Amino acid sequence: MAEHLSLLPPPPPPYLTTEVTAMDSADMAAFLIERTRISVTIRMVDIAACTMFVFDYFLTLGMEIDYVWPGKWTPIKIIFFIQRYLPFIDSVGLGLYQEFGMNLSPTTCHLLNNAGKSLIFIGLAFSEVILTFRVWAVWNRTKILTILLPILFAACWIPHITVIYKFLKTLRFIQAPIPGFEGCFFVDAGSNIVVSWALLLVWDTLMLVMMVIPALKAYHFRGHSALYSTLYGDGIIYYFYLFIMSMANIVLHRLESVDVVYRFLAVVMARCVHSMLTSRALLHIRARMSEGQQHQIPHIPSSDDPVYPLPTKRPGHW
C-alpha cells in the first residue's frame, strides 16, 4: 500500500493557482514562455521609465538647489519634495526589486506590490496638489475656486483609496515555476483599477480646460512671450501629456485581448512622467522669477508668494 502511494504524483504546491495546475505539460511550457516574454517587455519599459526619471532628476537638480532649497519651508515646498523624491522608492527601488529580485515568495511580492502601489498613489496625489495650486493661482485665487477646488479634489481622489484597496486584494502571485526566475510571477488581477485611471483622467481634463481659458485671455491681451510660454504653455502641454498617459492606461485595461500582465505596462512610466512634469512646472517658474521678471510671472503659491495675475480687462475687450 505504501509502495502504491509512493508511485502517485505529488500534490501540487499550495501556491499554484487552479488554472496553472490544470495545464498539461505542453500548455504549461507555452504559458511559461509567454509569461517570460511579457516579463522581459515589462522590465524594459520600467527600466526606461526609471532611467528617464533619474536622468531628468539630475538635469533639474541644479534648478532645485538654486530656486527651491534657499526658500523657507512651507506646506507646498514639503509636498514638492515628497512628490519629487518618492519615485526613487516606489519605482526605482520597490518597482525594480519586484522585477529583478531572486527567489521572491508570493507573500513577499504582495507586500512589495502593496507598498509600491500605495506610494505611487500618494505621489500622484501630491503631484496633482502642486498642479492644482498652479491652476488656482492663475485664476487669481478667486473665492469660489478656493472653496470649489478642494471639494472637487476630495471628490475625485477619496474614491481612489477604496478602488486601490479592493484592487490590491485581487492581485495574485505564484512561486515562479522556473528555477532562477527573476522577480515576481504575476498571474492575475482585477479590472477595477481602471476606475482610478478614469478619475485621474477626468481631473487632468478639468485642470487642462482651466489652464486653457486664462491662457487664451493672456494671449489676447499680451501676446506670446517667454513668460506666457512658461506659465501657460508648459502647463497646458504638461496636462496634455498626463491626459495621454491616463488614457493609455485606460485603453490597456479595457483591451480584453491583451494579457493581464500587459495591462500594467504603462503604470511606472505614468508615475515617473507625473513627477517629472510636476517638478519642472514649479522649477521653470521659479527660474523665470529669478530672472527679474517676477512682476508678471506667477509661481506655485505659498504663504509669502504673490498671486498669479490674470490679465485686466481693457475697454472694448472681452
Tell me the pLDDT tens digit for each residue of 116-132.
999 999 999 999 999 99
Lowest mean pLDDT among 45-59, 74-88, 138-152, 215-229: 215-229
Report which of 117, 86, 120, 269 is spatially closest to residue 189, judged by C-alpha positions: 117
Q: Are 243 and 203 in contact (CB under 8 A)?
A: no
Lowest mean pLDDT among 105-114, 200-209, 214-223, 291-300: 291-300
Residue 304 has pLDDT above 50, yes or no: no
Report which of 268, 270, 277 is spatially closest to residue 246, judged by C-alpha positions: 270
Pick from 19-23, 180-184, 250-254, 287-291 the range whose average pLDDT is largest: 250-254
Residue 269 lies in a domain: yes
Residue 221 binned pLDDT confidence (cut-offs 50, 70, 90): low
Report which of 137, 284, 143 is spatially closest to residue 211, judged by C-alpha positions: 137
Residue 6 lies in a domain: no
pLDDT the model gives residue 168: 92
Cα dist. 161→82, 90, 196, 266, 272 in Å?
A: 19, 17, 9, 20, 20
Identify residue 37 by its one-letter amino acid code. Answer: R
Domain of 130, in residue numbers:
71-290
Residue 30 lies in a domain: no
Residue 207 lies in a domain: yes
Residue that the C-alpha cell 493609455 belongs to: 248
Residue 124 lies in a domain: yes
Q: Are 187 and 174 in contact (CB under 8 A)?
A: yes
Residue 259 lies in a domain: yes
Count of domains for the chain: 1
Residue 261 lies in a domain: yes
Which pTM was predicted? 0.80
Residue 58 lies in a domain: no
pLDDT tens track for 38-74: 888 889 999 999 999 999 999 999 999 999 998 889 9
> What mean pLDDT do residues 10-19 have?
44
Q: What is the residue-averaged pLDDT of the chain?
A: 80
Distance (Å, rounded) from C-alpha 196 to C-alpha 194? 5
> What mean pLDDT do residues 108-120 have?
94
